Amino acid sequence: MRNRKRVGWHRYINGVIISTVVTVLFILIPLYWLIASSLKAPLSVGNSPPSYGPTPFSFANYKNAFVGYDFGIYFRNSIIVTLATTALVLILGTLAGYALGRLPMRGKFTTLVVLLIISVFPAVAVLAPLYLLMRDIGWLNSYQGLILPYTAFNLPFAIWILRNYMLGIPKEMEETGRIDGAGALRTVWTIILPQALPGLFTAGIFCFTACWTEFLMALTFNNSNNFRTIPVGIADFGGNFQVPYGTIFAASVVATVPIGILVFIFRKFVVSGLTSGAVKG
């Protein structure tokens, strides 16, 4: 056994515990600073030297983010784009993942490797042509102008994850469906899908996170105030001379809470996604 039994005070104070505490502090201190600063009065965010607690305590920054700035609009846009993309990715990804995982197709291997390469391709490589295309068809500053590229960039990873789960489903289950006379789509829906549910959670949470945090394409395609998503909105809060950090941090906290809760609930699936061989940042 690698883990020896610890006795006496070593049970409470030892290298493992100390290192764990250091790790926790390493992660939490910047987050604490984000939250504490967001809860200060707007002007005292710029105090020098800074006060180390949220004093004077105030919710003014939160109010300012929604009233003084249009953070509510950005939040709504992020929700719409993220949810629509995730739904599309899961539907298209399930069908493709099922086919590439379980059906006898020639060129399956090549397709999968190409998908893997595409999933690490830098978005900047497609930026200019996509921008020109979207301008020509009038998709700049629209929801579909982000949903379509987000879907395309998140599909390869989703297909991989779902395919891996589909591979693990016993063949007999599928054949039962076929003997019962169910059509192909119905087999996927009633027999395969429930089995692949963990894969759907994993693919879904990764897609959600990627859409929620994406910046480059959102900045390029949707820069009008009515269609900005959260990252672009937060980056643009700053004026020319004064950066309203209080407002930025209040908006940041509001933007981090939903994704934080989701990741906490689905942490098992995130970890399994990170480690099922397909690693993505």
Partner 1 sequence: MTAISSASGQSAAGQVRPVVPPVPRPDINRKRLARMGWGFSAPALVVIAAVTIFPIVYSVIMSLNNVTVTGSGFSLDGFTFSNYNLLVHASLWRDALFFTVYYTVVTVIVELVLGTCIALVLERLVAGRGYMMALLLLPWSMITVINAELWAYIYNGTYGVADAILSALGLGHPVILGTPTPAIIGLMIADIWKTTPFVAIIVLAGLVMLPGDVYEAAEMDGASGWYTFWRITLPLLRPTIALAVMFRVLQAFGLFDLPYVMTGGGPGTSTQSLAILAFNALFKNLSFGPGAAVATSTAVLVLLGCLASLRVFRVQVGQEGN
- Closest by CA to 207, choosing from 74, 88, 77, is 88
**CB 190, CB 114: distance < 8 Å:** no
**CB 107, CB 100: distance < 8 Å:** no
Residue number, 60 or 237, with CB nearest to partner 1 = 237
DSSP string, 159-193: HHHHHHHHHTS-HHHHHHHHHTT--HHHHIIIIIH
Indicate which single residue of 39, 65, 81, 159 sits in contact with partner 1 (rule: CB under 8 A).
159
How many residues are listed for the chain in this entry?
A: 281
Q: Which of residues 60-99 bind partner 1 (CB under 8 A)?
A: 92-93, 95-96, 98-99
Q: 156: which residues sit within 8 A by CB, 6+ positions away?
A: 115, 116, 118, 119
**Minimum CB–partner distance for residue 49 and partner 1 (Å):** 4
What mask, x for binding partner 1 by CB under 8 A, covers residues 188 to 207? --------------------
**CB 9, CB 218: distance < 8 Å:** no
Q: Which of residues 21-60 bind partner 1 (CB under 8 A)?
A: 23-24, 26-28, 30-31, 33-34, 37, 45-50
Residue number, 38 or 60, with CB nearest to partner 1 = 38
CB atoms within 10 A of CB 67: 11
Residue number, 60 or 150, with CB nearest to partner 1 = 150
Residue number, 155 or 200, with CB nearest to partner 1 = 155
Q: Which of residues 215-254 bind partner 1 (CB under 8 A)?
A: 215-216, 220, 230-232, 234-235, 243, 245, 248-249, 252
